[in-house]
Amino acid sequence: GHETTSVAICWTLFLLGLHPDVQETAYQEQESIFQGSDRSVTMKDLNEMKYLERVIKETLRLYPSVPIIGRLLKNDVNIGLFLLLAGYDIPSGCTVLMHIYGIHRNPVQFPNPEKFDPDNFLPERVAKRHPYAYIPFSAGPRNCIGQKFAMLEMKTVLSCMLRHYRLRSLDNRDTVNLLGELVLKAEQGINVTITPRQTGNVLLLTELFKYILMNQQKFSPIFRTWNGSEPRVHLLQPEDVEVILKSSEHLDKSHIYKLMQDWLGTGLLTSTGQKWHTHRKMITPTFHFTILDSFVEVFLEKSEILISKLRKEVGSQGFNICPYITKCTLDIICETAMGTPIHAQDDRGSVFAKAVRDMSEIIIHRQVRPWLHPDFIFKMSAIGKRHDECLRVLHGFTNQTIQERKNAVSNLPNQTDTSLTEEDSYIGMKKRKAFLDLLLEALHDGVKLTEKQLRDEVDTFMFEGHDTTSAALCWTLFLLGLHPDVQETAYQEQESIFQGSDRSVTMKDLNEMKYLERVIKETLRLYPSVPIIGRILKKDVNIAGYDIPSGCTVLMHIYRVHRNPVQFPNPEKFNPDNFLPEREAKRHPYAYIPFSAGPRNCIGQKFAMLEMKTVLSCILRHYRLRSLDNRDTVNLLGELVLKAEGGIDVTITPRVCFQELNERRNSFTKRLFLYELHFCWLGLPRNEREPQHITMEAVTILLGGALFIIALLFLLTANKKETEFATRVNKLHGPTRYPIFGTDLPLIFLKRTELFKHALMIQQKFSPIFRTWKGSEPRVHLLQPEDVEVILRSSEQLDKSKIYNLMQDWIGTGLLTSTGQKWHSHRKMITPTFHFTILDSFVEVFSEKGEILISKLRKEVGSQGFNICPYITKCTLDIICETAMGTPVHAQDDRGSDYVRAVRDMSEIIIHRQARPWLHPDFIFKMSAIGKRHDECLRVLHGFTNQMIQERKNAVSSLPNQTDTSQTDKDIYKGEKAFLDLLLEALHDGVKLTEKELRDEVDTFMFEGHDTTSAALCWTLFLLGLHPDVQETAYQEQENIFQGSDRSVTMKDLNEMKYLERVIKETLRLYPSVPKIGRTLKKDVNIAGYDIPSGCTVLMHIYGIHRNPVQFPNPEKFNPDNFLPERVAKRHPYAYIPFSAGRRNCMGQKFAMLEMKTVLSCMLRHYRLRSLDNRDTVNLLAEIVLKPDRGINLTITPRQTRNGGM
């Protein structure tokens, strides 16, 4: 594989050097493939090199690497002339030598055989030739096994040679002596001359920047050069740069920017004079901080995609991170500029994304090649043609988007500011405006931008905001990877902000990233994205004692200005503390100008800084970086944007290590995360203090892997024909089904915060009825009230879906999970316990716990904001414990009750297990760390409930026997009966519940009535905080009822709270506590014309049902009047089902409504609420209960009562 390939390449170069016409054709093929780019070759490229392959084959015909091959005969063989009977008998034992060199010159097979003609290998010619007429790799059973390898190697090397150099051979074929050795070589080698193909190739670009730096050092601080007849004056001192940049007259950019005008027109970057002034004034408001705030969501969304894409590089020996960053910034700039996602990171082959990348390369390519500056030459070149193709794509896309957005804006109320209240016109788009939308509204003296001006500004934003930010991010990652101490400090800043949470970044978070901002600024000092900027002088100017005439181009070398040792002592040292406020204050104002400065500074620098912070925050929180190169070995490319020649090579390691997590193992959520990471990375904990955990987790992983293999083998050996059952289900459309995983395979790669968005996307795509597969289990999804009614009103389809089985260890077979006769009998027995007289007795508990909540919240008065969810959760836990079992647990007092902790932990465990299919089998789950915690919780929960049952039974046994639910007896703890007391008295056909059944029902009440009510209250407070008008109306209703009194609430008061009830109902419409419910079909059923077979799981998406525009016009609007009686009467009875519906509806819905009214009444009478997030920025978690991923953050202000107190 060495010598043979080497000589083949040498002979090919020899022949190319002799035949400039063939060489040029081969070069043009390369140009058509690479379009002037200096990117690396790919397999796709190699497959397209048809002509080069013919060149190589023709070379191997004339100069086969092995000119003679031999065989030792094992048997006698007859070899004779074709079609003649007589032949030669060659005896066994003879050596037969086959002269490939001579065979390849057979004039019958190759007319004019000494001529070098690559067309000899056109497919039509090859087809007519004897199959053994061309055998450079031998042939038959013992042919060369590596011929494809050799061909790919030769193509790659020759492609690189052709793209960089022109060749001229110094010898001709007659004068070259051949050596008759094993491999065919030229006696004196192959002598050639080479000429650089283009003076601006990569090699020269790296030398060009070194040359510029050499001149700067030699002639600093001010010197002149000539570009042909054009004079250039170079400035390197802040004081000299200030003279130009602060001037309001020297605003025209240098001539080089004219090369961009075909694409960018005369946008802000390239325009001059009055047009520049006018457009700058119009565009400035579009970068207001409120606008930038709305873009943070895009930054985050694309950054999270980047994080997921980088996962495949974990464990690699190193990779170039620049392509990943470039695609991410391209995604960001396209969506923020035009409001249209292009999915560059998903490699969907967007023509627009490719055109942006190509056009950026073309401009840089042309910039350093002066002979391509004249348009008439450039347009005739191959790269000029590609330039025109890109223009058609870019301008076509921008024009189309402008027209679409104009049409959308024309349907909205007219406004001339940059407020962000209108909804985007595109279905499924987020409620934010793109840069283009803001430009459509911008006015100057009552005049809007023309369509051409709009396109120029959008394209300018695209060009300026893509490559520059990408380069800055790459350099920052490079320096962080070289300086682990700086990286660790930046990471600790992230930890202090996020507290280990994986929540999304907010504008508030970005503003707190002071150290990261200093890191970015120091990176831009050392590696400014644009290393040189230029201006054309409009009038004579005196700089450093020199009179510079009007018309001169002045170049300001930012790269060198930033290395001024007076301004930055030890200027080559990477030191983020250079940007501490006290150091900045002492520095010349023009000593640091990465975004230029003065009237023509970069208008988008705040946008860029927020984008970079977001991307870097995501990377730092997920990965540790190590740079594989150092600063001395990285070559800088002297292009428009400062880049590293070979990219930035790094390795990444997942940020969270098991040692760190074990050190925090007292936090239960960290224990859950630890367990999850074992499966994600197949690692083991290293905590020597808990060796049994190492063993148990290892066993868990191994068993999970074994189960996977067994399942795979079963599927591979099973009958491949679909069963009738599956065939019937698959008549419904739905996502792609994969082996083993079903349709759930994509979920494995999603973060917890992405699951609900993914579910909504699937619903939107396949609504109103579709199917999915969870492994081999089919699920049918319903989103229409009419379809849901078929299931919920049925007296036969009552069995819950299998996911509820995971709860049975705690809640047994209580009302939530039981089926059949048991469910019927228990439902009948328990129904009287929710009689209104019973509920009336619970109002006192609701009020008491609500008042404790009010007192606990006082410490948050005056704070900048806090998460109210923990407060609400503890309040509802207090309520449910005391009403269920008659025993206070004082959750709000943080007394550390084991029972309170166990309830919280068990709820988290169930949610955690639900989302991890490998934890569903009990025998695996029980051996895991989280399974052990599950069992500890069970002992506490069941122990406490059993103890309460025994105590209450003893108390009840001392009271007169009665079989109804009247409230005449005094509870041994309080003046009302708990749910448990009522169950102890309940009878069905004269039979009471067993102790196990009692425990199951009490635990079910605890589970169902705790988290769901807490979530509903949090969402209600969130919406009230967003809608002060609704909040005020609800408060006025309280005032009308309580007349300024601070007395406790009564049942009569609660019944009068009609508006507050509508607020709660509307909240549960938008944010139903349980976003979907499931049933397992007991018999076949027809829904929407589809026959759904028995055994299927039917999932009803309450979240989607509640957004049906037929039932709720403008469904995303929060409007409590949706529940005015006259509107409710006109609605389908199954259009609103937050408590389910039909025979198996939630028995405790009246209890929940009274509890929520009581708590909200207390809140409204004591505090004004303001939500700090909006609905677009809150991520929903796809769990059993619908929650926000980072809680509900709000501020509270005390209301003044009539007596002047709070």
Residue list for the binding site: 602
> Could you give the strand order of the β-sheet that contains 319-320, starting from the edge strand earlier in sequence?
319-320, 649-654, 623-627
Q: b/e for 8-23, b at 16 or more Cβ within 10 A?
A: bbbbbbbbbbbbeebb
Spatial separation of the C-alpha atoms in residues 109 and 93, rounded to whole Å: 31
Tell me the residue type at 419. Answer: S
Cβ atoms of residues 975 and 1148 within 8 Å: no
Handedness of CA 723, 725, 726, 727 (dihedral sign): positive
Show the tokens assigned to 622: 């997920």
Spatial separation of the C-alpha atoms in residues 847 and 1054, rounded to whole Å: 11
The DSSP call for residue 1175 is: G
Cβ atoms of residues 357 and 263 within 8 Å: no
Element (H, E) at 1000: helix 995-1026
Binding residues for heme, by number, are: 602
| Alpha-helix runs per DSSP H in 445-570 | 451-482, 484-498, 507-512, 514-526, 558-561
Spatial separation of the C-alpha atoms in residues 1106 and 671, rounded to whole Å: 36
Spatial separation of the C-alpha atoms in residues 629 and 637, rounded to whole Å: 16
Spatial separation of the C-alpha atoms in residues 374 and 410, rounded to whole Å: 42
Q: How many CB atoms lie within 10 A of CB 334?
A: 27
Cβ atoms of residues 642 and 634 within 8 Å: no
| Alpha-helix runs per DSSP H in 623-754 | 658-663, 668-681, 691-717, 724-729
SS (HEC) of 1056-1117:
HCHHHHHHHHHHHHHCCCCCEEEEECCCCEEECCEEECCCCEEEEEHHHHCCCCCCCCCCCC
| Omega before residue 589 within 30° of 0, cis | no
Show the tokens assigned to 183: 């491999």
Q: How many CB atoms lie within 10 A of CB 63?
A: 24
Q: How many residues are recorded in the chain?
A: 1206
Which residue in the block uniquely carries the two structure tokens 């002269």? 99
Cβ atoms of residues 257 and 247 within 8 Å: no
State how beta strands 1180-1181 and 1167-1171 pair: unpaired
Q: b/e for 1179-1199, b at 16 or more Cβ within 10 A?
A: bbbbbbbbbbbbbbbbbbeee
Q: How many CB atoms lie within 10 A of CB 972?
A: 14
Nearest CA to 477 out of 496, 490, 494 is that of 490
